[in-house]
């Protein structure tokens, strides 16, 4: 009897010990920071880290580079290299072929649609169409979604940006809120996808900062300020990083993109906006040090894309450069196809993101072969010497072009949403708004000026260092998820950076 009692006691103690050991293992496996902060700087070329390094203060970009781990050779591995696609790819660890955001706008059900447009929701905080947005067109989960799942949806996830797509796509499907600027009112809004009314802290913020015009916000240092202050207000209003459950904040600075498009990559305007952003970052990091705790939050900074140097500037220094007018090229191509196939009906919907969109309905109505129409279009486009390659996207894997470029075309092609034909321009050639190239610039192609982006981690469990090993935009989500011990997003094709 006594022996049986002792055996039972030993067994019970063994079970308790096993449970305690399991609990400790679970606790160790769930070691996470209080807050994850994902910062995207819209249209930030990698070399801006160094071009203005001597002008930056100690607390912003230079602090990131001194205290953080810098992945110097981070590349975008798809086209088009544009805002909606970039933000989706950073936070899903995926590419358009999988996450479905094939452009800022893309084809769905035979018509072009905006990447976040959602007619089933209404704006909250404003009654304009600017609020009719959601992440429903995004086909994959984000870092924030996976953090939600890992914490039984106890984590809070909030996205902030002047641009709707730069707030919505990073925050993901299950976010507690995504907030963006209604340019008609100068106030932050959201949609009924997330909530029925604005939180009081957002209403209070709008009362303090709202009401300025789009130009006052989107092209000035004030836009940086209001974005950073909104991020700080979100931390305080939602008590992010204030309990035992890890939260996430995504912040995208959009003014840099607006200024870059208007004034290009050199000159006082772009320099001024990055020096101002540096101050805003320094202030944000100081706030997080105080509010969350230095070393208690993990921050990463990256970009959705870069930008081409202005073609006129390059020409002045003997560097080949140029551009094409997409609307003009589309009209001329359509005219050629009408003549070739003896029809008055348009066969070209347009050219967007350097992709030709063929009108499939028109081709079918005329009993034409889509392959025949595409080949005719390709043959005609190849006559233009600034088009290095013209590729049938359905057959891109078999196309005769350099492997790195082919990979980007394949990764960027979603069969239900992308165009039919990809135009690959010569280096330093890009789409312009008209025959006059003008002072500004744009982005969207595979070349390093558009695809080489910064990626720096700082804070929780990050030791200073750097690497020149190849890293892709997809590796960002994989790395962050590995660090905080949550499953990578369900469309992720990246690998965690070893450091």
Catalytic residue (choose from 74, 83, 250, 472): 83
How far is residue 10 CA from its own chain's centroid?
56
CA–CA separation, 273 and 276 (whole Å): 5
Contacts of residue 274, Cβ cutoff 8 Å, sequence gap at least 6? 44, 48, 52, 256
CB atoms within 10 A of CB 18: 10
CA nearest neighbour of 72 among 452, 490, 460, 487: 452
- 18: tokens are 């096993």
Phi, psi of 71 (to 5 degrees): -90, 95
**Bridge pairing between strands 35-41 and 247-253:** parallel
Helix (H, G, I), strand (E, B) or coil at 14: helix
Annotated active-site residue 83? The verdict is: yes
Which parts of 24-176 are beta strand (E)? 35-41, 69-71, 74-75, 105-108, 111-114, 123-124, 157-161
Element (H, E) at 87: helix 83-92
Handedness of CA 358, 448, 469, 43 (dihedral sign): negative
Tell me the helices (H) and strands (E) count for the chain, helix number first. Answer: 19, 21
Task: Give the tokens for residue 472.
Answer: 């892709």
User: In which residue are the tokens 């015009």 written?
Assistant: 213
Catalytic residues: 83
């Amino acid at each position: 009897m006594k022996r049986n009692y002792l055996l039972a006691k030993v067994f019970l103690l063994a079970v308790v010990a096993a449970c305690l050991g399991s609990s400790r293992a679970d606790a160790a496996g769930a070691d996470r920071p209080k807050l994850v902060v994902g910062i995207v700087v819209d249209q930030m070329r990698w070399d801006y880290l160094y071009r203005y390094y001597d002008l930056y203060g100690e607390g912003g970009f230079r602090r990131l580079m001194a205290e953080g781990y810098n992945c110097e050779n981070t590349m975008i591995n798809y086209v088009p290299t544009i805002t909606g696609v970039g933000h989706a790819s950073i936070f899903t660890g995926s590419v358009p072929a999988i996450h479905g955001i094939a452009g800022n706008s893309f084809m769905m059900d035979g018509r072009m649609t905006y990447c976040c447009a959602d007619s089933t929701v209404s704006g909250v905080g404003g009654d304009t169409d600017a609020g009719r947005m959601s992440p429903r067109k995004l086909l994959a989960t984000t870092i924030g979604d996976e953090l939600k799942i890992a914490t039984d949806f106890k984590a809070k996830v909030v996205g902030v940006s002047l641009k709707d797509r730069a707030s919505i796509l990073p925050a993901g499907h299950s976010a507690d809120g995504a907030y963006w600027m209604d340019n008609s009112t100068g106030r932050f809004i959201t949609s009924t996808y997330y909530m029925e009314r604005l939180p009081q802290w957002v209403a209070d913020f709008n009362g303090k900062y709202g009401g300025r015009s789009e130009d006052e916000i989107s092209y000035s240092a004030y836009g940086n300020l209001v974005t950073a202050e909104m991020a700080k207000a979100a931390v305080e209003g939602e008590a992010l990083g204030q309990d035992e459950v890890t939260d996430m904040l995504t912040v995208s600075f959009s003014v840099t993109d607006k200024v870059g498009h208007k004034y290009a990559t050199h000159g006082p305007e772009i320099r001024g906006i990055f020096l101002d952003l540096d101050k805003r970052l320094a202030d944000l990091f100081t706030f997080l040090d105080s509010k969350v705790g230095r070393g208690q939050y993990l921050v990463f900074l990256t970009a959705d894309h870069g930008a081409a140097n202005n073609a006129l500037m390059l020409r002045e220094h003997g560097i080949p450069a140029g551009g094409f007018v997409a609307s003009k090229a589309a009209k001329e191509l359509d005219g050629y196809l009408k003549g070739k196939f003896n029809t008055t009906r348009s066969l070209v919907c347009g050219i967007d993101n350097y992709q030709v969109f063929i009108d499939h309905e028109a081709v079918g109505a005329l009993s034409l072969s889509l392959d025949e129409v595409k080949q005719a279009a390709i043959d005609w486009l190849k006559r233009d010497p600034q088009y290095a390659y013209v590729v049938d996207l359905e057959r891109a894997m078999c196309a005769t072009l350099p492997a790195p470029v082919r990979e980007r075309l394949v990764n960027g092609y979603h069969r239900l949403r992308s165009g039919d034909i990809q135009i690959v321009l010569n280096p330093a050639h890009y789409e312009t708004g008209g025959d006059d190239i003008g002072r500004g610039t744009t982005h969207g192609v595979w070349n390093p000026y558009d695809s080489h982006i910064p990626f720096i981690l700082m804070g929780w469990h990050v030791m200073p260092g750097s690497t020149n090993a190849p890293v892709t935009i997809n590796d960002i989500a994989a790395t962050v998820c590995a660090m905080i011990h949550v499953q990578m997003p369900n469309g992720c094709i990246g690998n965690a950076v070893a450091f």
